[in-house]
Amino acid sequence: MSWDVFIMRFPSEAEAMDEIPEDWEPPSLGAGRDVRGVLTDVLPGIKYSQNGWGDYEGPGFSLSAPVNEADDAPVAGVSLFIHGDSEAAAHAALAVADALEARAFDTGSGDFLTADCAQSAFDAWRAYRDRALDQHGH
Protein backbone atom coordinates (compact mmCIF):
# COMPACT_ATOMS: atom_id res chain seq x y z
CA MET A 1 0.00 0.00 0.00
CA SER A 2 1.52 3.31 -1.05
CA TRP A 3 1.01 6.97 -0.32
CA ASP A 4 0.34 8.40 -3.77
CA VAL A 5 1.30 11.96 -4.58
CA PHE A 6 0.84 13.51 -8.01
CA ILE A 7 3.12 16.33 -9.17
CA MET A 8 1.82 18.71 -11.83
CA ARG A 9 1.86 22.42 -12.61
CA PHE A 10 -1.62 22.91 -11.19
CA PRO A 11 -2.92 26.49 -11.31
CA SER A 12 -1.41 28.38 -8.38
CA GLU A 13 -4.70 30.08 -7.55
CA ALA A 14 -6.57 26.77 -7.14
CA GLU A 15 -6.96 25.76 -3.52
CA ALA A 16 -8.88 22.57 -4.37
CA MET A 17 -9.22 20.29 -7.39
CA ASP A 18 -12.79 21.40 -8.04
CA GLU A 19 -11.48 24.93 -8.63
CA ILE A 20 -9.56 23.80 -11.72
CA PRO A 21 -11.53 24.32 -14.95
CA GLU A 22 -12.48 21.11 -16.75
CA ASP A 23 -10.85 22.35 -19.97
CA TRP A 24 -7.55 23.16 -18.23
CA GLU A 25 -4.48 21.75 -19.96
CA PRO A 26 -1.47 21.19 -17.68
CA PRO A 27 1.75 22.88 -18.73
CA SER A 28 4.63 20.50 -19.33
CA LEU A 29 7.10 19.83 -16.53
CA GLY A 30 9.75 19.47 -19.22
CA ALA A 31 11.00 16.77 -21.54
CA GLY A 32 11.39 13.21 -20.26
CA ARG A 33 15.19 13.46 -19.98
CA ASP A 34 14.92 16.78 -18.10
CA VAL A 35 12.31 15.54 -15.62
CA ARG A 36 14.38 12.40 -14.94
CA GLY A 37 17.39 14.70 -14.46
CA VAL A 38 15.53 16.80 -11.88
CA LEU A 39 14.48 13.65 -10.02
CA THR A 40 18.09 12.45 -10.07
CA ASP A 41 19.22 15.78 -8.57
CA VAL A 42 16.55 15.76 -5.85
CA LEU A 43 16.70 12.02 -5.13
CA PRO A 44 20.39 11.07 -5.35
CA GLY A 45 20.77 7.41 -6.19
CA ILE A 46 17.40 7.00 -7.94
CA LYS A 47 17.68 4.08 -10.35
CA TYR A 48 15.73 3.93 -13.62
CA SER A 49 14.70 0.74 -15.35
CA GLN A 50 14.59 0.61 -19.14
CA ASN A 51 10.87 1.40 -19.10
CA GLY A 52 11.47 4.69 -17.23
CA TRP A 53 10.37 3.50 -13.80
CA GLY A 54 12.49 5.26 -11.18
CA ASP A 55 13.07 3.64 -7.79
CA TYR A 56 14.59 5.50 -4.87
CA GLU A 57 15.55 4.29 -1.39
CA GLY A 58 15.41 7.11 1.13
CA PRO A 59 15.98 7.13 4.88
CA GLY A 60 13.15 4.92 6.13
CA PHE A 61 11.07 5.06 2.95
CA SER A 62 11.13 4.09 -0.69
CA LEU A 63 9.66 5.94 -3.61
CA SER A 64 8.78 4.89 -7.15
CA ALA A 65 8.27 7.45 -9.89
CA PRO A 66 7.42 6.28 -13.39
CA VAL A 67 8.66 8.76 -15.98
CA ASN A 68 8.42 6.65 -19.12
CA GLU A 69 8.08 9.46 -21.64
CA ALA A 70 10.76 9.52 -24.35
CA ASP A 71 13.78 11.76 -23.71
CA ASP A 72 12.37 14.57 -25.85
CA ALA A 73 8.64 14.07 -25.12
CA PRO A 74 6.80 16.45 -22.78
CA VAL A 75 5.88 15.21 -19.32
CA ALA A 76 2.57 16.54 -17.94
CA GLY A 77 2.83 15.01 -14.48
CA VAL A 78 4.80 12.69 -12.23
CA SER A 79 3.31 10.15 -9.84
CA LEU A 80 5.15 9.35 -6.63
CA PHE A 81 4.32 6.02 -5.00
CA ILE A 82 5.76 6.18 -1.49
CA HIS A 83 6.21 3.30 0.98
CA GLY A 84 7.58 3.35 4.50
CA ASP A 85 7.30 5.18 7.79
CA SER A 86 9.85 7.97 7.63
CA GLU A 87 8.85 11.59 7.98
CA ALA A 88 11.44 12.27 5.27
CA ALA A 89 8.91 10.96 2.71
CA ALA A 90 6.76 14.10 2.95
CA HIS A 91 9.83 16.29 2.57
CA ALA A 92 10.92 14.31 -0.49
CA ALA A 93 7.52 14.78 -2.15
CA LEU A 94 7.66 18.54 -1.58
CA ALA A 95 11.28 18.71 -2.75
CA VAL A 96 10.35 17.00 -6.04
CA ALA A 97 7.44 19.39 -6.55
CA ASP A 98 9.59 22.43 -5.77
CA ALA A 99 12.39 21.31 -8.09
CA LEU A 100 9.88 20.81 -10.91
CA GLU A 101 8.30 24.21 -10.16
CA ALA A 102 5.04 22.39 -9.62
CA ARG A 103 2.56 21.47 -6.91
CA ALA A 104 2.03 18.18 -5.11
CA PHE A 105 -1.44 16.68 -4.77
CA ASP A 106 -2.17 14.02 -2.14
CA THR A 107 -4.55 11.59 -3.84
CA GLY A 108 -5.63 10.12 -0.50
CA SER A 109 -6.78 13.32 1.17
CA GLY A 110 -7.67 15.14 -2.04
CA ASP A 111 -5.63 18.16 -0.94
CA PHE A 112 -2.61 19.98 -2.27
CA LEU A 113 0.48 19.46 -0.15
CA THR A 114 2.23 22.45 1.35
CA ALA A 115 5.06 22.76 3.82
CA ASP A 116 2.41 23.37 6.49
CA CYS A 117 0.33 20.24 5.83
CA ALA A 118 2.59 17.67 4.14
CA GLN A 119 3.62 15.98 7.37
CA SER A 120 0.07 15.73 8.70
CA ALA A 121 -1.08 14.36 5.32
CA PHE A 122 1.62 11.69 5.48
CA ASP A 123 0.71 10.88 9.09
CA ALA A 124 -2.96 10.52 8.11
CA TRP A 125 -2.03 8.14 5.28
CA ARG A 126 0.19 6.13 7.64
CA ALA A 127 -2.64 5.82 10.19
CA TYR A 128 -5.03 4.72 7.41
CA ARG A 129 -2.49 2.17 6.14
CA ASP A 130 -1.96 0.76 9.62
CA ARG A 131 -5.73 0.41 10.22
CA ALA A 132 -6.22 -1.26 6.83
CA LEU A 133 -3.39 -3.72 7.45
CA ASP A 134 -4.66 -4.49 10.96
CA GLN A 135 -8.13 -5.26 9.59
CA HIS A 136 -6.60 -7.73 7.16
CA GLY A 137 -4.46 -9.44 9.80
CA HIS A 138 -1.08 -8.12 8.67
Helical (H) or strand (E) element with 111? strand 111-113
The stretches in the chain having pLDDT less than 70 are 136-138
Pairing of strands 103-106, 111-113: antiparallel
pLDDT at res. 35: 97
Distance, CA of 13 to CA of 10 (rounded, Å): 9
pLDDT at res. 120: 80
Q: Which pTM value belongs to this model? A: 0.87
Q: What is the pLDDT of residues 49-59, one digit of tens each?
A: 988 899 999 99
Distance, CA of 126 to CA of 58 (rounded, Å): 17
Residue 25 sits in which domain range? 3-135
CATH number, residue 114: 3.30.1400
Q: How many structural domains compose the chain?
A: 1
Whether residue 58 contacts residue 86, with contact meaning beta carbons closer than 8 Å, is answered with yes
